[in-house]
Amino acid sequence: MTPVRRFSLGPQTALVLEQGDITRSDADAIVNAANERMLGGGGVDGAIHRAAGPGLREACEAVAEVRPGVRCPTGEARITPGFDLKARWVIHTVGPVYRGAASAAPLASCYRSCLRLAAEHGIGTIAFPAISCGVYGYPRGEAAEISLRSCREVLAAAPELREIRFVLFGDEPYAAWLQAAEALVR
């Protein structure tokens, strides 16, 4: 059995923590921890591109560059269809490379930007990976707290959002999010 825990993040929004592979999620939207070019990469980004098929790369190429080589600046988000995924949408966001306390604001901005796009598209369920916790080196416990605080802050602006899921790849990120949720969420 995949570990799953359910909390309540607000009057109408559940928080679900599960251990697993986000590419298999049946959420309306899954979030990709992308890079600024948005043309795929390693980690969860590569897994999402492989599972979504070549349409995703074409859709990413079609996203306008804000400056040469940058389609999505750090802390912002862009949305594309999900192509071969179960998820209808992929929301691409670019987390910060961890550089101590200065990285907290851009990481919080990722979560807020994704939820703003979700609200604009009437998305009911969204699944996040542990943004910046892979090669970008963010300490998991800190990232988990920032993610939950940021999500809670913007809930009021996303009335159609019924469920925020975190799909955590492996025991350690799952344990970190569980500990943060037990401390911060009822």
Residue closer to ligand ADP, measured from CB, 43 or 141:
43
Binding span for ligand ADP by CB under 6 A among 116-124, 133-141, 151-159, 176-184: 133-141
- Active-site residue identified among 26, 45, 84, 171: 45
Other CB atoms within a 10 A radius of the CB of residue 75 amount to 18
What DSSP character marks residue 65? P
Task: Establish if 126 lies at the interface with ligand ADP (CB under 6 A).
Answer: no
* 26 included as an active-site residue: no
Say if residues 76 and 105 touch (Cβ distance below 8 Å): no
CA distance 34 to 119: 20
Q: Under the criterion CB under 6 A, does residue 82 sit at the interface with ligand ADP?
A: no
Binding marks (x or -) toward ligand ADP, 150..179, rule CB under 6 A? Answer: -----------------x-xx--x------
Phi/psi region, residue 43 (left: phi>0; alpha: psi -120 to 50; beta: rest), is left
Q: Does 106 bind ligand ADP (CB under 6 A)?
A: no
Q: Binding string to ligand ADP for residues 3 to 32, with x set by CB under 6 A, is what? A: ------------------xxx---------
Angle subtended at Cα 91 by Cα 146 and Cα 98, rounded to the nearest 5 degrees: 40
Residue count of the chain: 186
Closer residue to ligand ADP, CB minimum distance, 66 or 135: 135
- Token pair listed for 69: 């080589």
- Longest CA–CA span in the chain (Å) reads 46
Active site residues: 45
- In the complex, the residues that contact ligand ADP under the rule CB under 6 A are 21-23, 33, 43-45, 47, 95, 129-136, 167, 169-170, 173
